[in-house]
Structure 1
């Protein structure tokens, strides 16, 4: 009779441990196979090169070179999947780009290079857009080519 209770306790412990396992994945993807969505808490940026030219201000037309990645807590420098790269011009203060991108360019000097972490709320928000899942934070490397 003395052995009965320890055997029951051991059996319950084994059942409990087997019920905890299985089904999980540590690959950083959701069950559907898509990349897990993450977002930085707030807008932040780091200048790798401080420019020496004109300072970008509201009302100016700026030209930028950029590369954009989905924000990832597990990727080097938070640069997950790259979604776009290119050069384009836009007028500051006209809401023609996502708010986080515009805020990041304001105050840059021509020739400057900046890495920007943009939370979902200042990016594409809960709905996302083509190639960018809803709720995703973004990382951009931006170079200010001109400001007029």
Structure 2
């Protein structure tokens, strides 16, 4: 999984550009002609917005709604209307906040839900304008094929597959956390403000271990995983459990240390002490 810092620059807002003498030129009319010609030539059933953005929704997506302030994860291919590819990120995916990308993406991506896919055809005034940028000529129309990753659905399926393959008697909560209580324990049960001592091992669904240690944790501290905050309150002191945590309740969509963005994480936990 690539973070936004590792993505090719084309998805980011213009931070610098080369002044090629066209900095004040209005490309709107010629962009419009180019887009309409491209749509007709390729028999594309596109719709447009008042801003001049054209789009095709192949799949709306069944996941969460997206707003202009959302963090999203996208696979994409970017090219000019002549078919020349200037950027491609289709094998993996890139995560970013929509407030940090070109206007055409800010407007277009929220037309989809997570899990959606389609096409954005973006005139220059919603992209890089009248200056050349990163190999993109001034006034360019940009075409993007996009697929928006729905980690909630992907993670849930991964967890359910793992449970079936390992014959686990797992329960789930409304948040999407899965858990197996192996020994309930006979001591006190922690609350959301408790400090606890735990022994744990963390690993991915393929069995690769990424952590194994003891720790003292305050459950009300913000940087404790939400899956831990919720899951440990289901156990009593002296008990053991397995937590299967989707990325939304774990490390999120961005890479974190050795944990790739969007990862399901599993923890075998012994609740040693509750303060």
Please tell me the TM-score bracket, short chain as reference: 0.5 to 0.7
1:51-86 Cα distance to aligned partner (Å, 9 max, x none)? 0011111221101110000134xxxxxxx2110011
1:122 aligns with 2:249: yes
Unaligned runs of 5+ in 1: 1-30, 73-79
SS at match of 1:71: coil
Residue equivalent to 1:60: 194
Q: Distance in 2 between matches of 1:128 and 1:97?
A: 16
1:94 aligns with 2:214: no
Deviation at 1:103, TM superposition (A): 1.1
Q: Structure 1-normalised TM-score?
A: 0.66
Q: Structure 2-normalised TM-score?
A: 0.37
- Count of residues paired in the alignment: 107
1:104 maps to which of 219, 228, 231 = 231
1:79-106 Cα distance to aligned partner (Å, 9 max, x none)? x211001110111222231111221111
Residue equivalent to 2:185: 51
Superposition pairs of residues 34-45 of structure 1, within 5 angstroms = 39-40=155-156, 42-45=176-179
1:29-72 Cα distance to aligned partner (Å, 9 max, x none)? xx89xxxx963352110111110011111221101110000134
Structure possessing the higher relative contact order (Cα contacts under 8 Å, 6 or more residues apart):
1
Superposition pairs of residues 79-90 of structure 1, within 5 angstroms = 80-90=207-217
Contact 1:55-1:108 at 8 Å conserved across structures: yes
